[in-house]
Structure 1
Amino acid sequence: MLAKLPGLIRIPLALLLLAGNIVLHVLPLFAFTLVKLIVPVPAIRQACSRLLVRIAESWIGVNGRLFDLFTRIRWRIEGLAGLRRDGNYLVLCNHQSWVDIPVLQRVFNRRIPFLRFFLKQQLIWVPLLGPAWWALDFPFMKRYSRETLLKHPELQGKDREATRRACEKFRHMPVSVMNFVEGTRFTPAKHAAQSSPYRYLLRPKAGGLAFVLDAMGDALHAILDVTIVYPEGRCTMADLIAGRVHDIRVHVRERAIEAGLLGNYDEDAAFRGRVKLWVNTLWREKDAQVASMLTAADAAPTGN
């Protein structure tokens, strides 16, 4: 019913409720984070960690309910059968928009362990959200440009060390580690600049995937290969909140972690070649999957 309200009423109301949901969940999240920090008893800290995840899952659940109330999105989701809340997953996905994140949260919330993303270091300063991500053990990465590394070679490998430290923490909890393999959001300009061999995707980056698998490969039990398609074209968070997104399609495929994907990416050239071949093969299949999903969307009856 709320989706039928005029935009001048619906959009501010949706923003107000989304902001209220942030405050409603962030305040108790910070309270239990403080307890976790100051109480040295391991059992209490573990209990706080579990409560923090439940608060975050409630936060995501309420956001999903609000989007259901204020939008008219047709969801087409395939491949969720057999997922486990007690499993440990590496989630790989194409990346088109910040909308990908609430989509992934909506699809996987309470179906697999809580999703954690690698975030840029600067995002820790986002009001309320940055400290909340920190409290939930989201790993913050400080990426260095090629120019910076040339001027300061001592920084070489620091981002990889941060990846390893984050993943070591994840070895002792149920976790789903999210990796956007392209490393950045798709745009036609980036696609052209890369001379990407894929029609709908940027070139994949194998290094981050290899480092995560190397750090916690034996603690992970599967890879979730996720493809997201917006048949109406790439969209923004503003489009989502304003109700301009009407069709979202998600395909999930569980893949085994092959023994050949575990090794030293920096020092073993043969292994590095195997990982790149595996990722490029995956990306060719994903490109074909996107094409198939778009074709299916074009063939769907209007309003279905």
Structure 2
Amino acid sequence: MLAYLLLVLNIFLVILNSAFCSTIICIIALFKLVLPTASLKALATRLANKAMWLWATINAWILSASNRVEWDIEGGEDLKKDGWYLMISNHLSWTDIVVLCCVFKDKVPMPKFFLKQQLLYVPFIGMACWALDMPFMRRYSREYLIRHPEKRGQDLQTTRRSCAKFKHTPTTVVNYVEGTRFCHSKKKRNGYEHLLQPKSGGIAYTLAAMGDQFDSIVDVTLAYPENLDKPFKDMLMGRMTKIVVRSRTLPVNEEVQGDYFNDKPYKRQFQQWLSNVWQEKDELLKEIHK
């Protein structure tokens, strides 16, 4: 009974927090539209990021007040608040967004997530993410692109437009490389035990648009070893017991910089690089789950 009372209370608190902070961000965005200079617009962006920091801080308080969580965090000592980072991570549940923001909110600039187009229409959250210049991606199937070849490359154009807004303010761009949340029914036979097959297109888009500006790639591994089935629901019900976060920095060098879309040898090299990163991540997750 207590767990379900916590579930209702925490849902209410998270919605209230999201509505409050999203409203602040949207008000700042409206002022930003009419500000006359780039420096004033950059100031408005920093204020909006502060409001997102507040959202993450309140969520961290809700999480710690409701759960007796053992945090197992390693890495991130070499990160800085005024840098530019591409963060890649495995994806398990909605909990990941809360955890990433809680763990890295004082280590790197506030994360900006690549989001599905449908999330734009979620009350409060969608408008706030739009106001924070987060990229909304519209995914097309291969069959659709064959019928509508004019749609090819639109994600790259969207990414470039969004990344152009990040060039004047330190930013962390987050890409969930698997493209969707992990579950065993999606896993099938892909050679990994705890991961889905990585998709190289999204990260290649980002590196093509901003590769020269990133200080490094932050490779994050997340695990909830005692709450495998429904970590987000368990967190809201006060049942989350352990959160494991491992991070390391990878260089932005010639191995990850090239013409992914027109240079086939480089494309194969990049896919092999990402496959190696994912294989190492899967081995790490095996150790964590032991």
Answering whether residue 212 of structure 2 is matched by residue 238 of structure 1, we say no
Identity of aligned residues (%): 39
Q: Specify every segment of 5 or more residues in structure 2 that has no aligned partner in the other structure, as ranges.
A: none
> For residues 117-132 of structure 1, what are the structure 2 equivalents within 5 Å?
117-132=113-128
What amino acid maps onto 1:248 in structure 2?
I
Q: CA deviation at 1:17?
A: 2.0
2:154 and 2:177 mapped to 1: Cα distance? 19
Match of 2:152 in 1: 156
Match of 1:40 in 2: 36
Answering whether residue 226 of structure 2 is matched by residue 213 of structure 1, we say no
Q: CA deviation at 1:252?
A: 0.6
User: Which one is further off, 263-272 or 200-209?
Assistant: 200-209
> For residues 172-251 of structure 1, what are the structure 2 equivalents within 5 Å?
172-192=168-188, 195-232=189-226, 233-251=228-246
Say whether the 8 Å CA contact 1:96–1:234 is kept in structure 2.
Answer: no
> For residues 44-59 of structure 1, what are the structure 2 equivalents within 5 Å?
44-59=40-55
Q: CA deviation at 1:236?
A: 4.2
Answering whether residue 16 of structure 2 is matched by residue 20 of structure 1, we say yes
Answering whether residue 279 of structure 2 is matched by residue 271 of structure 1, we say no
Q: CA deviation at 1:191?
A: 0.9
Residues 8 and 277 from structure 1, CA distance in 2 versus in 1: closer, same or farther, beyond 3 angstroms? closer
1:18 and 1:286 mapped to 2: Cα distance? 31
2:56 and 2:96 mapped to 1: Cα distance? 14
Q: CA deviation at 1:253?
A: 0.8
What amino acid maps onto 1:254 in structure 2?
T
2:159 and 2:37 mapped to 1: Cα distance? 27
Deviations 1:206-228 (A, max 9, x none): 12212211111110011111111
Deviations 1:231-287 (A, max 9, x none): 121424222211222111110111111212111111101100110110111111111
Aligned mate of 1:133, from 129, 136, 142: 129
Say whether the 8 Å CA contact 2:42–2:168 is kept in structure 1.
Answer: no
Aligned mate of 2:91, from 75, 88, 95: 95
1:282 and 1:129 mapped to 2: Cα distance? 32
User: Which one is further off, 231-240 or 97-106?
Assistant: 231-240
What amino acid maps onto 1:242 in structure 2?
M
Match of 1:287 in 2: 282
Say whether the 8 Å CA contact 2:221–2:281 is kept in structure 1.
Answer: yes
Answering whether residue 251 of structure 2 is matched by residue 261 of structure 1, we say no
Corresponding residue pairs, total: 289
Q: CA deviation at 1:173?
A: 1.6
Q: Which has the larger radius of gyration?
A: 1
2:165 and 2:151 mapped to 1: Cα distance? 22
What amino acid maps onto 2:221 in structure 1?
T
2:261 and 2:185 mapped to 1: Cα distance? 30
1:115 and 1:203 mapped to 2: Cα distance? 23
Q: Specify every segment of 5 or more residues in structure 1 that has no aligned partner in the other structure, as ranges.
A: 296-304
Answering whether residue 63 of structure 2 is matched by residue 75 of structure 1, we say no
Q: CA deviation at 1:171?
A: 2.1
